[in-house]
Structure 1
């Protein structure tokens, strides 16, 4: 639902105008932008990701050093997990020692992650908890929290361009610098506020559903062995 609103407002430019009518369809003024080589709504601008967010990348502690992983409690995400648009948990963890002795960094919740290498290159996810990542991921931390979901959808909208930007069958040459130099349209603040209110509500529902699914999966995995060996029965 949030993606549909994004497409309607920021791809078709039919966000509600001051009278509540679709902007472009109702004759709203459009202005040619030299950077994008297309028309955008009057008063909107184009910025690079580096002007809107801080970025970083992670690292992988040495796999042969068991103290970097055993009994670790710091979440560590790999690029394969970015198939999900919202990440609420990971099965991979590193220790404080592993964090200190590698290029891994701890990123805050609501960071946007983009895969840079492999089959998931160009895919994005939002994390709901503090986590580290491997070096195949670019972390994008918007300077304004109201831009979190807007930037994520804008990056998703550039997916085909990112695939074309990279080369080879594995699409493995995206870099943090290329991501930082991506241009996206920045609407006026009122439109951003309205979109964030709508999208945040949708993402909170997604987050809640994912957490409930995770809890139900754990319950199922706990019950099934007991059902199979006769410890419990269904009446």
Structure 2
């Protein structure tokens, strides 16, 4: 390594401040994605005075099970008010922030190469823990404070743009869900005069399946009758097979993108409905679904649906998002929703006119969502490029 590479341990020190007097109540956990999260641990009967206090610009990490998880969880605390965290997590801080910026160090921890090196040093059986001394011995390039500030500034610009895009995506999704609820739950879709249907005397009839009144002409139909299930094209690939097929097309699993491969099975807009796994439903019994598009590969842990006629993917996504499916989950050790049970889900279907107007109203929002997510992908690539450039020991006159 070049002369600018220095051991992490030369720049950090452990901190151990306990929560004496219970002066701090905000309890956090640490995720494998290197973020602080609200703790869901059962703390009944726990001595909270023994928990550690973490302050702004301090780090928390976990050195346990690094080899098993292939990641070292570590996060930079950025809030003004302190929080507490389990005493099992080492907390450390930078000794002199005029030599090393906390944000710069966190960028280094974000790199996949850092996790690979941490995994290499991890010892102790299959799980593999990282010794504190080995962590401190890992090196990073130390530039001048001005260059670190320049690198961090560029990184923050990208991060802030991604955060803004995600806020816009959330707002668009919430708006689409609000429109769905207004039309298909409250029955206030526009009537022939453009006024809310139910509150303006729209005719209602009693529906035995739902045990409530619904608009005249509407009916309950099984998901299998209003959508096309395209599971027959799915094909799982082992990690070894994926390693031999590296490419640009997303490889989806039950919950998210697992990898990228050099070929695709599907091309278009689809709805993915998780088939098996511990998280196929949430605490409310709602299914794990994803709105996906473009060219991609899919394994056999998620069903894939397309709409029929005026029953669009956008409608199905919003309808299923808040549909309780707990009664169709089978299997205790490995929860599962098979294709037959999924197709039996009952959904309320409106008139063709209502569905056509709904599609016209919400489809532009989903086009924007796709555009923002595609932009996020490009921004993530820029982030990776910037992180990769951190390893280049350049002269102080050069810029990243």
- Does 2:236 correspond to 1:60? yes
Residues 1:17 and 2:211 are matched in the alignment? no
Give 1:171 shift. Answer: 6.9
1:206 aligns to what? 369
1:166 corresponding residue in structure 2: 329
Q: Equivalents in 1 of 2:333, 2:189: separation in Å?
A: 37
For structure 1, list consecutive stretches of 5 or more residues without a partner in the other structure.
Answer: 82-89, 100-105
Matched, 1:155 2:320: yes
Quote how far apart the aligned CAs of 1:49 are. Answer: 1.4
Task: Describe the superposition over 1:99-158 as per-residue Cα deviations: whole angstroms up to 9, x where unpaired.
Answer: 9xxxxxx23411111002123312111221132322221111112265221111111121
| Equivalent residue number for residue 233 of structure 1 | 399
Matched, 1:136 2:301: yes
Which structure 2 residues correspond to residues 178-193 of structure 1 after superposition, within 5 A?
178-193=341-356
- 2:358 aligns with 195
Residues 1:155 and 1:10: Cα distance change in structure 2 (over 3 Å): same
The residue correspondences of 1:76-91 to structure 2 (distance < 5 A) are 76-81=251-256, 90=257
Q: Deviations over 1:179-201 (max 9, x none)?
A: 11111111111111111112111
Q: What SS does the corresponding residue of 2:221 show, helix, strand or coil?
A: strand
Residue 60 of structure 1 aligns to a residue whose secondary structure is coil
Query: Is the Cα–Cα contact under 8 Å of residues 56 and 176 in structure 1 kept in the other structure?
Result: no
Provide the secondary structure at the position in 2 that maps to 1:80: coil
2:259 corresponds in structure 1 to: 92
Give the distance between the partners of 1:146 and 1:49, measured in 2 at CA: 10
Cα separation, 1, equivalents of 2:310 and 2:218: 19
- Residues 31 and 201 of structure 1: CA distance in aligned 2, closer, same or farther (over 3 Å): same
Say which structure, 1 or 2, has more relative contact order (CA 8 Å, 6+ apart): 1
Unaligned runs of 5+ residues in structure 2 are: 1-174, 281-286
1:54 and 1:140 in contact (8 A); partners too: yes
8 Å Cα contact 1:54/1:142 also seen in 2: yes
TM-score by length of 2: 0.49
Root-mean-square deviation (CA, aligned residues, Å) is 2.6
Corresponding residue for residue 116 of structure 1? 275
- CA change 1:196–1:212 in 2 (3 A) is same
Q: How far off its partner does 1:170 sit? A: 6.7
